[in-house]
A and B are shown apart, each in its own frame.
Chain A
C-alpha cells in the first residue's frame, strides 16, 4: 500500500465513522427545517439566525454550505446581507445564490446586482445567471452593459438573461446586439431574442414577437434558430398560419417541412383540414405520407375520409399503405367495402394484412353488418378473412351468417366459421350447430365443429346441454365418434355414462374413440374406468392410452386420497414395463399420503426404476411434512440411510433438519388469494373464501416458509405478493375428542379467524407477525374442525404463524392436520 492508498483508506474509514453505517442520513437540512417549522415561528427564526451566524463566522466552507441550504428554504430578508457577502467568494458564491435565487424579495436582486461589479469570470457569470432566473425587469439596466463586456462568457450570460426578462427594452438591446455581433455572440443574442419573443407571445405582444421571429427567420440563421422562429411566426399569427404552413410544406428544407406538418396536428381554426387536404395529391409521396399522418392526428374524420379513401387505391405504395391503415382510424361503415376490396385484390400481402387490421379497428355504426354483407360477394379466401375479423370484433350479430358459412362448400370457410361460432354462438344456437355437425361430410372442419358444439353446450346446465346430443347418438359411426368427443369435451356425468357405453360398441372405431375420449376427460371422473381398460384390454395401444389418461387424471386432484392410492396400487400391479411404472411413480410423487410410501417402497429395490422411485418417495415425504411431520421425518431418515444417490441423501437430510424446526405450529395450509377490490377496504371486504356460495375460489397448498430457523412463519408475500391485498389460509384439524384449546397466532398485518364456520376473532391492526400475539379460546369438536384465517396486507412483510395449544398454552398432542377437505 502506497502513501496515497493509505490516505484514501483512512479517509474512507473516516467517512464511514462520520456517516454511520448507512448513507441514508435522511438529510439534515430537511430534518432541521421540518422540525423548526413544526416548532413555530420562534424556532424557525432561531434556525435562520443560527444559519446567518454561521455564515458570518469563520466556520468551514461546508458548514457555511449547510447554512446556505437551510436559508434556501426558510431565509427571510434578514439573511440577505450575510448571503450577499458570500457572493464574491469563489467557493461559496454558488451556494449563496442557491439561497438567494429563489427568494422573492427585491433585496435579493440588489444583493446580486451589487456583487456583479465586484466579481469577474465564472463567478460573475453565475450571478448573471441567477438574475436571469429571477426574470425581474428592473435588472435590465445592469444587464445591458454586460452585452459589451470583454469577457465573452459574460456577454453570453447577459444575452440569455435579457432573453428571460423578455421586456421591450430587453428586446431592443438584444436586437442591436444581434445586428452588430460576430457569429458566436450573434447566436447568443438570437437565443435571447427567441426566448424574449416567446415570452412576448405569452404576454399578448404579438406584433413585437413577430418582428423578432422575422428577424431570425432568415437564411443565414442557424437551422434550429430558423425553425424556432418559424414555429414562433406560426403561433403568433394564427390568421396566417395555414397559408404559411402550406408554403412551408412545399419547401425543400425537410426539417422545416416536417415541423410544419407536425404543427398541422394542433393548428386551430375552421376549415384547416379542408385546406390541407385540397392540395395533398400535388405533394411528393414522402410529404403526402407525413401529411396524411398529421391530418389523421387532427381527428376531423368526416373531412378527411374521402381523401384517404381515394388514396387507398392510389398508385404510390407507401401512400396506399398508410391510407389503408388510416381508414382503420377514421373510416366508417362505408369504408368496409373499400377495405374488403383490398383483402380481395390488394397488391401484396402487406396491404391485405393492413386492411384486415383496419377492419378489426373500425368503429362506428353497422360495421359488422356491412362486413357480413360483404361476405356474400367475397371469394372463399376473402370469406375466411372476414370471418376471422368478425370473430375478433366479437360480432355476435354475425352468428346467423356464420351458421350458413358452417355448411359452405369450401373447407377453409367451414373451419373459420366453426372457430368463430365457438366464440360467438350462444346457447340458443346449440341445436343448429349439432345439425351442422351431423350434416358434415368428411373430416374437414369436424374438429372445429365439435369444439363449437362443446363451447356452446358448456354454457348450458347438464340436462339441457346434453339432451340434444344424446337424442342423435344413433347415427353413423363417424358422427357417433364426433358426438362422443363432444360429450368428452363437455365432461359431465350424463355424457360420461354414454361414452363409457361406447367401450362396448360393436364398431371398433367407436370403441377406439371412447377410450381416447375417456383418456382426455377434463376431470378425474374417468380414472377408474381407465384403470379397468388398462387391466382388461388386449389392445396394446388402448392399454397405453388408458394408463396415460388415468395417470393424468389422478394428477388433477379431486379424487379421495384413498381412491387415488387404490387406483395407483392397481395400476402398479398391472404394470409390466419400466416405462409404465415410471409414469405411475411420477403420479405418486405428488401425493402426501403415507399410504403412497407403501406402494413406492418395494420399487426402491428395483434397479430399473430405483431413481424414479427415490424421487417419488422424496416428493411424498415433502408433501407429508406439513400435516404429518413425524411420519415425514421418519420416512426421510429411512430414505437418507438407504439411498445410494448423494443428491437424494442430501435432500432427505434437509427434510429431516427442516421438520425438526416445526415445533408445534400448524404446518399444513391451503392458501387462496391475493384478493383486492378497487376502492374497498381489504379487511372489511368479504372476498370469495368468506362467502359460503362463492364460486371460482382457487385453493392451493401453501409452501412451507424458508425463513431461516422459523419455517413455521409462513411468508404470504412470497406466495401471493402485493400490497393492500388480502389472503386466506385454511386447514382442517382432527381431534379424537371434544376438548378446549387455544389458538395462538401472529399475523402481519390484520386478521380474521373463523373456526368451524364462525367468526371468532378480528383485528385490523398492522405490524409485524409476533408468535402468540393473539390468543383465542376454541372448543375442538370430535372429528374434523375447519379453521379459516384471513390475513390482510398493507405494506412490507405479509406473514403469519399459528399453533393450537392447550388452554394453558402447553403443547396439545394427538391432533391431526390436513390441508384439504377430509373425505370422511
Chain B
C-alpha cells in the first residue's frame, strides 16, 4: 500500500507544520506598490550590511532580490570589501546611492536604516548585534551568533529587551530537506527520539591561539586593524589573521569545527527535538567526538562524516531514522517514510531571508530567533570546552553555568577589549 504521508503539502504549510508558524501577510498594503510592482520607496525596508566577506556576498544579494528591500549602505574594515559591496549594491539598483563606512557605529547611527545584515567574522557577531539592537534596528545575523556562552545570553536578552527581530543565519530551518526531517520527528513518525547526530566541520577540529609575527599595519583605509580585532584581544598585526581559513580555527575569533557547522547542525537537532529552550546537561569526550545528553536522556552526538554532503544530521527514533545533509540525498529507514515530494538540496538562503523580512513587518519571531540560536550554540560551546579541557563537563541549562567546574565556567565567558561591551 502506498505511503503518501506529507504528499502534496505546500512549502508554507510544511513550514507551519514544522515550526508552529503561520505565514503572515505583509502590513504594506497593495495600493502602496511602486513602479514595476515594487513597494513604494517609502514602504521599503531600508537596510545596511555590516561586513562584506564571502558569506555576505551570498546573503546580501538575496536581500536585494526582495522587492521590499532597499540596501543603502555597507560597512567593512577592509577597503577592498567596502568597494566591492558598494559596487555590488549600486550596480543592482543602477544608481550611486550606496554609502560605505569603516566603523559600524557610523552606519548604525543612520536613522533611515531599519535593519542590517551582520556578516562579520564570528567574534564580532554578538557585539554588533547588541549595538544594532540598541540602535533600534532589526537584524539578520550570520551564524554562529556567539563565540562564548555569555555572549549568546546577552544577545538573546538584548533582543527581547528591545523587542527586536533577530534572525540567525541558520537558513537550513527554511530548507526543504531539513524541514522534512524535522517534521518526521515532530509528527512522531520515527517513534520516540533516542539519538540525534550533528555533523561538525571537517576542518579546525584542533583550535589554536597562535600568535603570528608582527607585520607593519596597513593604512586604515586599507584595513582598520583595531576595528578588525574589535572585542577580541589585541595582538600585533599580521595579514594572515584576516584570512577566513586562519581565523576560523583561532579561538580568539571563532570556535573551530564545533561552532562552524554545529551552529547549523546542533541547531537543526535541537529544533527537531523541540529543545529550542534548553541545551544538553552532560558532555563527554569520545575519541574526537563529543556525546552529550539532555535532561530527559536524549543523546546528542557531535561527530564528523554524517550523510553524503556537508552539515549532515541524523535523527534516530525507536521506529526509524533519517540522515540528511546539503547533498539532497536522504538516507531513511523505513523506506516508506521517504517523501513523495521532490525535496531540494544545498542550502539556499532566499526563504530564510524572506522569513526575516516577513517577521520585520509582522513583529512575529522568525524561524531562527536569538533564544533558540543561543541554546544550540551553547551546546557547541560546551562541547568545545569539554574537548579543550579533555574531560566531561556538566551544564545547568536553567542557571546557565557549568556545575562545580570553575575552569569550564571561566572558558564560557571572556572580557571584551575596550571600549566594546555587550
Once the chains bind, are A361 and B13 in contact (CB under 8 Å)?
yes
Once the chains bind, are A73 and B133 in contact (CB under 8 Å)?
no
B residues within 8 A CB of A195?
Answer: 161
Task: Flag whether B249 is at the interface (Cβ < 8 A).
Answer: yes
**Known contacts A122-B418, A228-B163: A293-B24 contact under CB 8 Å:** yes
Within 8 A of B (CB), among A240-255: 254-255
Nearest CB in chain A to that of B305: its residue:
A723
Other-chain residue from B25, B27, B216, B361 in contact with A7 (beta carbon distance below 8 A): B216
Task: Flag whether B362 is at the interface (Cβ < 8 A).
Answer: yes
Once the chains bind, are A19 and B13 in contact (CB under 8 Å)?
no
Once the chains bind, are A394 and B5 in contact (CB under 8 Å)?
yes
Once the chains bind, are A23 and B246 in contact (CB under 8 Å)?
yes
How long is the Cα–Cα vector from A14 to B414 in the complex, in angstroms?
Answer: 30
Nearest CB in chain B to that of A295: its residue:
B22
Task: Flag whether B343 is at the interface (Cβ < 8 A).
Answer: no
Once the chains bind, are B24 and A130 in contact (CB under 8 Å)?
no
CB 8 Å contact bits of B207-242 with A (1 = contact, 0 = none): 111111111100000000000000001111011100
B residues within 8 A CB of A423?
Answer: 1-2, 4
How long is the Cα–Cα vector from A257 to B55 in the complex, in angstroms?
Answer: 34
**Known contacts A15-B240, A286-B25: A98-B4 contact under CB 8 Å:** no
Once the chains bind, are B249 and A224 in contact (CB under 8 Å)?
no
**Known contacts A723-B304, A795-B304: A255-B163 contact under CB 8 Å:** yes
B residues within 8 A CB of A4?
Answer: 216
Task: Flag whether A91 is at the interface (Cβ < 8 A).
Answer: yes
Interface SS of B by simple majority: loop
Interface SS of A by simple majority: helix
Once the chains bind, are B210 and A19 in contact (CB under 8 Å)?
yes
Task: Flag whether B407 is at the interface (Cβ < 8 A).
Answer: yes
Within 8 A of B (CB), among A339-383: 353, 356-358, 360-361
Once the chains bind, are B213 and A62 in contact (CB under 8 Å)?
no
Task: Flag whether A483 is at the interface (Cβ < 8 A).
Answer: no
Task: Flag whether A160 is at the interface (Cβ < 8 A).
Answer: yes
Once the chains bind, are A27 and B208 in contact (CB under 8 Å)?
yes
Task: Flag whether A94 is at the interface (Cβ < 8 A).
Answer: yes
Task: Flag whether A422 is at the interface (Cβ < 8 A).
Answer: yes
Once the chains bind, are A133 and B413 in contact (CB under 8 Å)?
yes
A residues within 8 A CB of B150?
Answer: 133
How long is the Cα–Cα vector from A119 to B152 in the complex, in angstroms?
Answer: 30
**Known contacts A8-B215, A361-B17, A423-B2: A157-B419 contact under CB 8 Å:** yes
Task: Flag whether A487 is at the interface (Cβ < 8 A).
Answer: no
Once the chains bind, are B163 and A101 in contact (CB under 8 Å)?
no
Once the chains bind, are B1 and A396 in contact (CB under 8 Å)?
yes
**Known contacts A33-B407, A318-B25, A679-B316: A23-B163 contact under CB 8 Å:** no
Nearest CB in chain A to that of B365: its residue:
A262
Other-chain residue from A14, A25, A294, A426 in contact with B208 (beta carbon distance below 8 A): A25
How long is the Cα–Cα vector from A678 to B2 in the complex, in angstroms?
Answer: 25
Within 8 A of A (CB), among B1-23: 1-5, 7-10, 13, 16-17, 20-23
Stretch with Cβ within 8 A of B (4 or more), from A320-328, A529-537, A605-613: A320-328
Within the complex, what minimum Cβ distance (angstroms) separates B234 from chain A? 6
**Known contacts A122-B419, A231-B160, A258-B363: A23-B304 contact under CB 8 Å:** no
**Known contacts A14-B213, A24-B206: A424-B249 contact under CB 8 Å:** no
A residues within 8 A CB of B328?
Answer: none
Task: Flag whether A194 is at the interface (Cβ < 8 A).
Answer: yes
Once the chains bind, are A198 and B161 in contact (CB under 8 Å)?
yes
How long is the Cα–Cα vector from A34 to B385 in the complex, in angstroms?
Answer: 11
Nearest CB in chain A to that of B17: its residue:
A361
How long is the Cα–Cα vector from A160 to B308 in the complex, in angstroms?
Answer: 48
CB 8 Å contact bits of A685-702 with B (1 = contact, 0 = none): 000000000000000000
Task: Flag whether A599 is at the interface (Cβ < 8 A).
Answer: no
Task: Flag whether B416 is at the interface (Cβ < 8 A).
Answer: yes
Task: Flag whether B244 is at the interface (Cβ < 8 A).
Answer: no
Nearest CB in chain B to that of A425: its residue:
B1
**Known contacts A228-B163, A290-B364: A328-B13 contact under CB 8 Å:** yes
**Known contacts A261-B363, A394-B1: A360-B8 contact under CB 8 Å:** yes
Nearest CB in chain B to that of A154: its residue:
B419
Task: Flag whether B409 is at the interface (Cβ < 8 A).
Answer: yes
A residues within 8 A CB of B249?
Answer: 23-24
Task: Flag whether B342 is at the interface (Cβ < 8 A).
Answer: no
Once the chains bind, are B214 and A231 in contact (CB under 8 Å)?
no
How long is the Cα–Cα vector from A34 to B285 in the complex, in angstroms?
Answer: 14
Within 8 A of B (CB), among A281-338: 286, 289-290, 292-294, 296-297, 318, 322, 325-326, 328-329
Within 8 A of B (CB), among A185-220: 187, 191, 194-195, 198
CB 8 Å contact bits of A483-513 with B (1 = contact, 0 = none): 0000000000000000000000000000000
How long is the Cα–Cα vector from A154 to B194 in the complex, in angstroms?
Answer: 52
Task: Flag whether A227 is at the interface (Cβ < 8 A).
Answer: yes
Once the chains bind, are A19 and B161 in contact (CB under 8 Å)?
no
Within 8 A of A (CB), among B357-375: 361-365
Nearest CB in chain B to that of A153: its residue:
B419
**Known contacts A27-B208, A101-B413, A678-B195: A123-B418 contact under CB 8 Å:** yes
How long is the Cα–Cα vector from A261 to B9 in the complex, in angstroms?
Answer: 27
Other-chain residue from A73, A187, A325 in contact with B410 (beta carbon distance below 8 A): A73
Nearest CB in chain B to that of A103: its residue:
B410
Nearest CB in chain A to that of B191: its residue:
A678
A residues within 8 A CB of B390?
Answer: 34, 38
Within 8 A of A (CB), among B293-321: 303-306, 308, 316-318, 321
Nearest CB in chain B to that of A318: its residue:
B25
Other-chain residue from A19, A97, A129 in contact with B212 (beta carbon distance below 8 A): A19
CB 8 Å contact bits of A29-43 with B (1 = contact, 0 = none): 110011001100000
Task: Flag whether A474 is at the interface (Cβ < 8 A).
Answer: no
Within the complex, what minimum Cβ distance (angstroms) separates A218 from chain B? 15
Once the chains bind, are B419 and A125 in contact (CB under 8 Å)?
yes
Once the chains bind, are A194 and B419 in contact (CB under 8 Å)?
no
Nearest CB in chain A to that of B150: its residue:
A133
B residues within 8 A CB of A8?
Answer: 215-216, 239
How long is the Cα–Cα vector from A198 to B162 in the complex, in angstroms?
Answer: 11
Task: Flag whether B396 is at the interface (Cβ < 8 A).
Answer: no
Within 8 A of B (CB), among A149-167: 153, 157, 160
Once the chains bind, are A94 and B304 in contact (CB under 8 Å)?
no
Other-chain residue from A7, A26, A97 in contact with B415 (beta carbon distance below 8 A): A97
Task: Flag whether A471 is at the interface (Cβ < 8 A).
Answer: no
Other-chain residue from B3, B4, B209 in contact with A69 (beta carbon distance below 8 A): B209
Other-chain residue from B289, B308, B409, B419 in contact with A126 (beta carbon distance below 8 A): B419
How long is the Cα–Cα vector from A779 to B3 in the complex, in angstroms?
Answer: 49
B residues within 8 A CB of A392?
Answer: 4, 7-8
B residues within 8 A CB of A157?
Answer: 419, 421
Within 8 A of B (CB), among A60-74: 62, 65-66, 69, 72-74
How long is the Cα–Cα vector from A72 to B208 in the complex, in angstroms?
Answer: 16
Task: Flag whether A93 is at the interface (Cβ < 8 A).
Answer: yes
Within the complex, what minimum Cβ distance (angstroms) separates B323 from chain A? 8
Once the chains bind, are B13 and A222 in contact (CB under 8 Å)?
no
Nearest CB in chain B to that of A353: its residue:
B10
Once the chains bind, are A25 and B210 in contact (CB under 8 Å)?
yes
Once the chains bind, are A426 and B421 in contact (CB under 8 Å)?
no
Once the chains bind, are B23 and A228 in contact (CB under 8 Å)?
no
Task: Flag whether A772 is at the interface (Cβ < 8 A).
Answer: no
**Known contacts A73-B407, A678-B316: A297-B419 contact under CB 8 Å:** no
A residues within 8 A CB of B5?
Answer: 394
Once the chains bind, are B210 and A357 in contact (CB under 8 Å)?
no
CB 8 Å contact bits of A788-809 with B (1 = contact, 0 = none): 0000000110000000000000
B residues within 8 A CB of A227?
Answer: 162-163
Q: Which 7 A-B pairs have the closest CB atoms?
A: A258-B363, A126-B418, A423-B2, A227-B163, A224-B136, A723-B305, A293-B22
7 further interface pairs, Cβ-Cβ under 8 Å (given A14-B213, A358-B13): A23-B210, A72-B410, A102-B413, A225-B162, A293-B362, A394-B4, A678-B195
The 10 listed contacts between A and B (C-beta, < 8 Å) are A11-B213, A33-B407, A100-B415, A102-B410, A127-B418, A225-B162, A262-B362, A318-B25, A392-B8, A796-B305
